[in-house]
Amino acid sequence: MRTFMTASDLGDVNKAVQEALEIKKNRYAYKHLGENKTLLCVFFNNSLRTRLSTQKAGMNLGMNTIVLDVNQGAWKLETERGVIMDGDKSEHLLEAIPVMAQFCDVIGVRSFANFENKEFDYQETILNQFIKYSGKPVFSMESATVHPLQAFADLITIEEHKKVARPKVVLTWAPHPKALPQAVPNSFADFMNEADVDFVITHPEGYDLDPKFVRGAKVVYNQDEALKDADFVYAKNWSAYIDPNYGKILSKDMSWTVSAEKMALTNNAHFMHCLPVRRNMIVTDDVIESPQSLVIPEAANREISCETVLKRILEDNF
Ligand code: AN0
Ligand code: CP
């Protein structure tokens, strides 16, 4: 593996989950792989979990890790080619990337959708520039359209907690005050479509995701109907994908908040969310605090999903 953006980069996801569960039993077993290798984590956006879990995964594998917050202390970067740089941006990504690449062996990039240009976002322009101009293995730490380390951690968590061979997993939209990217639901759908689960997506009309990620998943516009008999409820807000509303908020309908009444429709489902979560918008206090909530185990598995990806990158490239 040289780049990590989608489930297909892992090959068979079930095998990847089994490998992750083996790594979890002894997370320091591959410390030799990263000796004298440097991991650079480049953040264009905020992070708590990705920042900590990615560094920890690198350290488990014996790597040195460097974290760069581009917007705190580095020069402001221009990302579009052809722009006359007479504004507040002092450096272009086209110089910054090869410079960053001098000091590392593997690069992780966090760079959210900007919602200004759907094509720029959906072509993963920034991540692809890192791939092209760094010459190093590059992985997404949530880029414009995908968050594969999160979805891989979610799949590991489902595997650990499922009570039936083929659980019903429901991805539900929920309200949020700010416009959020589609990266988390896109990657969750991407991974669930490759996993052995009965996968259903529910959201208000107008919130349909890119068909490239939805593929054969069942889409239901009635949340109550979708939640029926669910074994896992995965809540997430996202903004509209479909033109002309790309990046816009179409609804803040609080009847979509995941509450105890909603969970009562399920098969005593586990509640999941990638975090950070806005309580009593996305999910009520009682549901997120209930024994069925998996939000902390999911976050913990971010170390394991990342370690599995980095292990494969180290094995395949050095
Ligand atoms: C981001 C998002 O929705 O993509 C990051 C989630 C991991 N969330 C926020 O910006 C609140
Ligand atoms: N889930 C997740 O990626 O969280 P952070 O944005 O805090 O990294």
Confidence of residue 73 (pLDDT cuts 50, 70, 90): confident
The Cα 270–Cα 211 span in angstroms is 27
Our answer on whether the CB atom of 58 is closer than 6 Å to any ligand 1 atom is no
3-146+302-317 belongs to CATH 1.10.150.120? no
Question: What atom of ligand 2 comes closest to residue 147's alpha carbon?
Answer: 3
By the 8 A CB rule, do 43 and 126 touch?
Answer: no
Confidence of residue 107 (pLDDT cuts 50, 70, 90): very high
Residues 149-208 have pLDDT tens digits of: 999 999 999 999 999 999 999 999 999 999 999 999 999 999 999 999 999 999 999 999
- Tell me, yes or no, if the two domains 3-146+302-317 and 150-298 fold the same way: yes
Exposed e or buried b per residue across 133-156, where buried means at least 16 C-beta atoms within 10 angstroms of its C-beta: bbebbbbbbbbbbbbbbbbbbbbb
Q: How far is the CA of 8 from the centre of ligand 1 (A)?
A: 23
Exposed e or buried b per residue across 173-203, where buried means at least 16 C-beta atoms within 10 angstroms of its C-beta: bbbbeeebbbbbbbbbbbbbbbbebbbbbbb
Percentage of residues in the chain having pLDDT higher than 90: 98
Q: How far is the CA of 181 from the centre of ligand 1 (A)?
A: 7
Ligand sitting nearest the alpha carbon of 277: 1
By the 8 A CB rule, do 298 and 232 touch?
Answer: no
- Rounded to an integer, the average pLDDT of 28-36 is 98
Residues 42-64 have pLDDT tens digits of: 999 999 999 999 999 999 999 99
Percentage of residues in the chain having pLDDT higher than 70: 100
**In the predicted structure, residue 142 carries a pLDDT above the cut 90:** yes
The residues spanned by each domain of the chain are 3-146+302-317, 150-298
Does the pTM surpass 0.85? The reply is: yes
> At residue 69, what is the residue type?
D
Average of per-residue pLDDT values in the chain? 98
Superfamily of domain 150-298: Aspartate/ornithine carbamoyltransferase (3.40.50.1370)
Residue nearest to atom 4 of ligand 2 (CA): 49
Q: Looking at residue 174, what is its pLDDT? A: 98
Our answer on whether the CB atom of 151 is closer than 6 Å to any ligand 2 atom is no
**In a mutational test of the pocket of ligand 1, which residue from 46, 48, 184, 277 has the highest number of ligand atoms less than 8 Å from its CB?**
184
- Rounded to an integer, the average pLDDT of 263-273 is 98
Q: How far is the CA of 36 from the centre of ligand 1 (A)?
A: 33
Please give the order of strands across the beta sheet that includes 106-110. 3-4, 138-140, 106-110, 38-43, 64-69
